[in-house]
Structure 1
Amino acid sequence: MDQNHLKSLVKKFLVEHNCLKTYDHCISVGEYAYELGKNYLDEPDKARIAGYLHDISAIYPDDQRIAVAKKMGIDLYKEEIELPMIIHQKISKEIAFNEFNVTDPVILSAIECHTTLKEDYSDLDLVVFIADKIKWDQQGEPPYIEGLMIALDHSLEAAAFYYIDYLLNHGIQVLHPWLNEAYVKLKYDLGYN
């Protein structure tokens, strides 16, 4: 898929839904994921595509996400019902598939777990997860950025572990099962047991 064509499709889709700020974030994450992916992936373009589409579900506010997910046939965890913001990653995957014709399961996986990661993560999942944390959608610098970048000098896994560990020690609202499973696996893979 041509990157400029996809960029314009994403822009059109988000502008039509008054989500221009989300467009800027998606493009920023996609470009950063591509650059990061050049160091870790055989096909870094896949990271760019996943980044461009990761927050495409911003068209649905939090209070609509449970209903939208059910309509799309998405299974939800009780943690997602408790904090509907998290559902956006699964909805984005469905929109990428249904509206943008993304059929590559590796790209769809990276979109689907970009907020929580998951136990059976791929390098692409890690790249998009980390890119989203570095190019976050809030004002200013992320409070965890310095430690995350130091960890990233070691590996993608170390950076992902650092971020999740930071969350767990700074009042995470709900502990999503995928996040917990990813944390346990990262801890084991990094030999932190």
Structure 2
Amino acid sequence: MNAAYDKLRKIALTGNRRADIVSFLQANGKEETAEHCARVGQEARALSIRAGADPEQAELAGYLHDVSAVFPNEVRIEMARSLGIEVLPEEESFPMIIHQKLSRAMGEDLFRIHDPAILSAVECHTTLKQQSSLLDQVVFVADKIAWDQAGTPPYLHELKLALDQSITHAAYVYIDDLWQKKEQLRVIHPWLREAHEQLKAQLNR
């Protein structure tokens, strides 16, 4: 086990990965994150059924997506490097955003999840990425619907309307909303830039 995990409270795995993820987050003082992850998992399952993705993969990716919240922002870059994760300049400037890559690594290392489709969806749930899969988009949209802040997301009505067309349309609504506000963002992650360009071209064809 990588030394990056030494300070975390470990749990005995039961084989029920959803329950194990929730227990792990709770054991490390992240009860609100555990509740958010469960909501995203449930939303991802519902969206996957609607979109034609695999519900089991979608739900598990939703549960896993924010497991790296156990690492505070100020240590995330150090943790990422110690786990062999590539750190982009935008991530070093705004460490919160690397949590998606950390969650992927933790899924493999701590929860023995090795399904590449699940890991991909976890890894890009904040920014999406170029050539995103249907499952990537399902988990991305689920996270935006079941967001972890107070109140109602300002983009929610338009996003839900877009779902009547496709999950891809809904993903684009959120990414384009961010893009229109790009001057206000701390960083523009290159994966988000590439996803915006690709989805815009795809939906305009």
- Please confirm whether the aligned pair reaches a TM-score higher than 0.5, indicating the same fold: yes
Q: 1:169 matched to which residue of 2?
A: 180
Q: 1:82 matched to which residue of 2?
A: 93
Gaps of 5+ in 2: 1-14
Q: 1:124 matched to which residue of 2?
A: 135
> How many residue pairs are counted as aligned between the two chains?
190
Correspondence for 1:25 among 36, 50, 59: 36
For the residues of structure 2 that align with 1:144 and 1:63, how far apart are their CA atoms?
29
Q: TM-score, normalised by structure 2?
A: 0.89
Q: 1:64 matched to which residue of 2?
A: 75
Q: Does 1:183 align with 2:183?
A: no
TM-superposed deviation, 1:41: 2.9
Q: 2:119 matched to which residue of 1?
A: 108
Correspondence for 2:160 among 149, 172, 181: 149
Contact 2:130-2:195 at 8 Å conserved across structures: yes
Q: 2:5 matched to which residue of 1?
A: none
Q: Which amino acid aligns with 1:152?
A: L
TM-superposed deviation, 1:7: 2.5
For the residues of structure 2 that align with 1:42 and 1:161, how far apart are their CA atoms?
18
Gaps of 5+ in 1: none
Q: 2:144 matched to which residue of 1?
A: 133
For the residues of structure 2 that align with 1:42 and 1:7, how far apart are their CA atoms?
19
For the residues of structure 1 that align with 2:20 and 2:30, how far apart are their CA atoms?
13
Q: TM-score, normalised by structure 1?
A: 0.95
TM-superposed deviation, 1:42: 4.5
Moved over 6 A (4+): none
TM-superposed deviation, 1:183: 0.5
- Identity, in percent, stands at 46
TM-superposed deviation, 1:172: 2.3
TM-superposed deviation, 1:39: 1.7
Contact 1:41-1:124 at 8 Å conserved across structures: no
Contact 2:64-2:122 at 8 Å conserved across structures: yes
Q: 2:45 matched to which residue of 1?
A: 34
SS at match of 1:39: helix
